[in-house]
Amino acid sequence: MVPQPAFTVTFFRSTAGKEPVRDWLRSLPADARQAIGEDLMVVQFRWPLGMPLVRKMGPELWELRSTIPAGIARVFFTVWQDRIVALHGFVKKSQATPANELVTAQRRLDAFRRNEP
């Protein structure tokens, strides 16, 4: 019997119909996309998780921490009903999470909450 994931992974969609995380992923090399995808799959099947793969960043906001050939990728996400919603992704270049990246994720989380029933 093949185990079923507890959640599906979806992407935040702006009111203009853009999916910024999907676009960001497409811009990455194949090996980076694969590493991030494998980490997202772990979250799908084994939620809730903690460090070192997942870190809580605020109310209803988590950070997926993936090691990719170019460095460290981060995907901010929320869990809503039966979905993991990817809100924002970036490749980290410093030790601390840049404030503007967190602000972007929080802004998308707020927009997601306003637009979901």
Question: What's residue 48's pLDDT?
Answer: 93
The two tokens of residue 99 are 């404030």
Number of domains in the chain: 1
Residue 86 lies in domain = 8-115
Question: What's residue 89's pLDDT?
Answer: 98
Question: What's residue 96's pLDDT?
Answer: 86
Instruction: Report, as ranges of residue numbers, the positions in the chain whose pLDDT lies below 50.
Output: none
Residue 104 lies in a domain: yes
Give the tens place of pLDDT for each residue, 55-88: 999 999 999 999 999 899 999 999 999 999 999 9
Question: What's residue 117's pLDDT?
Answer: 59
Beta strands 61-68 and 71-80, pairing class: antiparallel
Question: What's residue 90's pLDDT?
Answer: 97
CATH code for position 59: 3.30.2310
Residue 60 lies in a domain: yes
Residue 30 lies in a domain: yes
Residue 2 lies in a domain: no
Residue 68 lies in a domain: yes
State the amino acid at position 75 in one-letter form: V
Question: What's residue 77's pLDDT?
Answer: 98
Residue 8 has phi, psi (to 5 degrees) of -100, 155
Residue 45 lies in a domain: yes
The two tokens of residue 67 are 């090691």
Contact in structure between 105 and 88 (CB atoms under 8 Å) = yes
Residue 91 lies in a domain: yes
